[in-house]
């Protein structure tokens, strides 16, 4: 087939199920282990995945009693993974709310050089007052303000990446000229949030820019994705919701003047794989039995912006929850959870069981063939360009997916058997950005 799947491995300590660390085969310290991350990246690379991805936040994500909560700084970790892999893309999360464009543009340009063109940036705006208080603020900025800052942040970052022309560095020993000064330009940006002179102090990198990834599904988030994102991670629990999101993002990309094929949509899927359907379902049930309700309810209450004592395990969600418009946090995730609970008439206990497995992403327990069939059905029916693979348990989940599911999809002609490109952008079939600031006559 001319069109093939794209796979990203979402690395998440012992796995995406919140109770995965309690299984005897799990290493509860793997969140801080370079060896563990190297193994996972190599398994994904051997299976010809497009990329691996590290989520991040400038705040302690959850009660550390609940699961491994420590997070290594992702660009630092991915720099280490760059020297232990050769092909797979390396995507790190970084916040536009609590960074500055120059420092972050430099960090990602450096990672792209060190990895020979395999860097990606998952752009987040960071919800929550706790993160704000780590940076001297009392409250988080308004949702709309965070996206306005993010938009200008990307404008500045791309100008900085463009501040060196591709032909700037000549390293001419004979003439004594290392770089042509007329090919390095200041950006002289002055806006509502940032004043940045430039130029960047890192020459243009192999991809020009890191692959730009985004995961917000609010209205502001989808507009931002349509303007900037080259890959979109999304949580959609059903086929119909995935199809609607996919069509919406492609439509918005066209409205923004972009080629919709240059915005790759990757819903998350949490596969639990067994040699039989019964075996897969038993593992899934075992994981759910290990969920600690006291932590799960507290996390759900925080997301919904209600007091935890209002959530009764064997009752449905309260009727009078704050609406999406009334909260300034993760708006789209709140709406996904509430809609899911209302539609399926779930009790709080049932809801935390489903969220414990994938936090609103599609969870699926079955045989390798059933998992491959599900992925193929989404791919061929307007719901996905590929998937953000989120194994419930690591490393066993990705090992099973790589050795048992990927070969089925390769035999069907739906997934690559070898890498054909060198950069992350080439893995995803995306063009290298032209240089908007290159001097007249310079090579972009």
- For 217-246, how does the pLDDT look when each residue is reduced to its tens digit (9 = 90+)? 888 899 999 999 999 999 898 899 999 999
Of residues 82, 106, 78, the one with CA closest to residue 93: 78
Domain 6-273+361-427 architecture: Alpha-Beta Barrel (3.20)
What secondary structure does DSSP assign to 163-193, as a single string? SB-TT-EEEETTTTEEE-GGGB----EE-SS
- For 151-193, how does the pLDDT look when each residue is reduced to its tens digit (9 = 90+)? 999 999 999 999 999 999 999 999 999 999 999 999 999 999 9
Please report which helix (H) or strand (E) contains residue 271, including its range: strand 264-273
Please report which helix (H) or strand (E) contains residue 124, including its range: strand 119-124
Task: Measure the CA–CA gap between 312 and 109, rounded to whole angstroms.
Answer: 49
Q: Which residues of the chain have pLDDT under 70?
A: 1, 325-333, 356-360, 438-444
Count CB-CB contacts under 10 A for residue 200: 23
What is the per-residue pLDDT for 273? 96
Cis peptide preceding 394, ω within 30 of 0: no
- For 260-273, how does the pLDDT look when each residue is reduced to its tens digit (9 = 90+)? 999 999 999 999 99
- Put residue 153 in one of left, alpha, beta given phi > 0 → left and psi -120 to 50 → alpha: alpha
What is the per-residue pLDDT for 444? 44
Task: Measure the CA–CA gap between 406 and 426, rounded to whole angstroms.
Answer: 20
What is the per-residue pLDDT for 356? 67
What is the per-residue pLDDT for 302? 76
Task: Measure the CA–CA gap between 258 and 262, rounded to whole angstroms.
Answer: 7
- For 284-302, how does the pLDDT look when each residue is reduced to its tens digit (9 = 90+)? 888 888 877 777 777 778 7
């Amino acid at each position: 087939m001319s069109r093939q799947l794209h796979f990203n491995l979402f690395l998440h300590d012992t796995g995406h199920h919140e109770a995965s660390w309690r299984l005897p085969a799990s290493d509860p310290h793997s969140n801080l282990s370079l060896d563990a991350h190297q193994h996972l990246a190599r398994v994904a690379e051997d299976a010809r995945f497009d990329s691996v991805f590290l989520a991040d936040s400038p705040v302690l994500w959850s009660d550390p009693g609940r699961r491994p909560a420590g997070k290594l700084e992702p660009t630092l970790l991915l720099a280490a993974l760059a020297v232990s892999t050769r092909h797979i893309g390396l995507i790190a999360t970084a916040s536009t709310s609590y960074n500055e464009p120059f420092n972050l543009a430099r960090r990602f340009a450096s990672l792209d050089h060190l990895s020979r063109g395999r860097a990606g940036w998952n752009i987040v705006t960071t919800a929550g007052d706790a993160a704000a208080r780590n940076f001297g603020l009392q409250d988080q900025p308004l949702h709309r303000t965070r996206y306005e800052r993010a938009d200008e942040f990307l404008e500045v970052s791309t100008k900085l990446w463009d501040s060196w022309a591709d032909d700037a560095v000549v390293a001419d020993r004979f003439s004594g000229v290392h770089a042509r000064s007329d090919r390095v330009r200041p950006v002289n940006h002055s806006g509502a949030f940032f004043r940045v002179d430039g130029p960047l102090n890192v020459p243009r990198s192999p991809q020009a820019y890191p692959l730009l990834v985004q995961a917000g599904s609010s209205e502001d988030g989808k507009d931002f994705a349509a303007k900037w994102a080259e890959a979109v991670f999304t949580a959609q629990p059903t086929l119909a919701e995935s199809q609607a999101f996919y069509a919406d993002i492609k439509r918005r990309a066209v409205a923004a003047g972009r080629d919709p094929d240059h915005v790759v949509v990757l819903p998350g899927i949490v596969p639990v794989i067994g040699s039989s359907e019964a075996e897969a379902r038993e593992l899934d049930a075992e994981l759910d039995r290990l969920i600690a309700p006291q932590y799960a309810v507290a996390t759900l209450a925080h997301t919904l912006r209600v007091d935890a004592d209002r959530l009764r395990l064997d009752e449905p969600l309260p009727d009078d929850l704050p609406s999406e418009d009334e909260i300034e946090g993760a708006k789209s995730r709140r709406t996904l959870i509430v809609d899911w609970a209302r539609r399926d008439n779930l009790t709080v206990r049932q809801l935390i069981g489903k969220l414990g497995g994938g936090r609103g992403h599609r969870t699926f327990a079955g045989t390798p063939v059933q998992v491959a069939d599900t992925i193929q059905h989404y791919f061929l029916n307007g719901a996905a360009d590929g998937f953000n693979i989120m194994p419930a348990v690591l490393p066993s989940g990705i090992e099973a997916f790589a050795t048992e599911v990927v070969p089925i999809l390769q035999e069907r002609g739906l997934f690559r058997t070898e890498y054909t490109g060198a950069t992350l952008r080439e893995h995803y079939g995306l063009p290298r950005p032209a240089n908007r600031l290159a001097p007249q006559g310079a090579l972009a």
